Amino acid sequence: MAAALTALAAAASVQAAGSGARWEYQGKAGTAHWGELAPDFSACRQGKAQSPVDIRADRASSTGTPAPIGFGYRASAADIVNNGHTVQVDLADGGGIDVAGSNYRLVQFHFHTPSEEAVNGKRYPLVAHLAHKNDAGDLAVVAVLFKRGRDNAALAPVFASLPATAGEKRAAAAEFDADSLLPAQRAYYGYMGSLTTPPCSEGVRWHILKQPVEVSAGQLAAFRKLYRMNARPVQPLNGRVIVVNR
C-alpha cells in the first residue's frame, strides 16, 4: 500500500511520492533502489516496520485477539484514475471503518498484481488496498485478496472503464459502494507496517482479510494490459507480531 501521509491528506492519493522523484517497480528506479532516489524515501531502505510482509498463518498470534473491523461503507460518487503506478478509485464520500477505537474515512482503493502481501508464502494474482485516514491523519488499510475464478461483479464497472494512459481520469458511470468488494467473512490478519510505495512511511495499520474473493481471467488480463507487475517484494518482519481476528 502506498504514499505519503501528506499526499494522502491533500490529494487523496496513496501512490503520489511527495518529493516528485520518479520511481518504478523494476530497473534503476525499481524497488531495490527506492531508498536511494530521494532523501524522503530513506524509510524504504532504513525502515524496520516495512510492508508488505509474508503472513505465516500458523505463527499469527491470537493472544489479545483484536476486535472485528466495523465496516460502514456507503455508495459514493467515484473517479477512476490511472496514476502511473496503478488504477485507483477515488471516493467522494464512501463511508469508513471503525478500528482500534477510531473512525477512519475511506479515501480510495487501488490494485496491485500480484498481491503485495503473501500468505504462507503464496501471493494471490490481485489485491485491492482500501486506504483510510482518521481525523488525526493516521492511515489504515484493508486488503482484499483475489483468487482466479468467476467474473467479479463488483469490479465490473471499474474494469469496464480502466483509463489507458497515466494521468487519465474517468468519472464512474454510477456510484460505487466499497462494501461490494468485501468477502462474506471479515476475519483478518493485522499488523503495523508502512506504505508500500515511496516514501514508505511507517505507522500504517494493516488488515488483510483472510477470505479471498474471485476475479476472472479476463478481468485480470484487462488490468495486466496496463500494469503487468506493480508489487513491492515482501519485507522482513523484524520482530513484529501479526495478530489474527478469527
Catalytic residue numbers?
Answer: 85
Quick check: 59 and 53 in contact, CB under 8 A? no
Quick check: 199 and 21 in contact, CB under 8 A? no
Output the nine-digit C-alpha cell for 223. Answer: 488490468
Dihedral of CA 94/71/3/116: which sign?
negative
Dihedral of CA 238/145/30/88: which sign?
negative
Residue 243 host element (H or E): strand 243-245
Q: Report d(CA 207, CA 130) in Å as an integer.
A: 10
Q: Is 220 helix (H, G, I), strand (E, B) or coil?
A: helix
Quick check: 35 and 44 in contact, CB under 8 A? yes
Amino acid letter, 145: L
Number of H helices and E strands in the chain, helices first, is 5, 15
Q: Report d(CA 205, CA 54) in Å as an integer.
A: 16
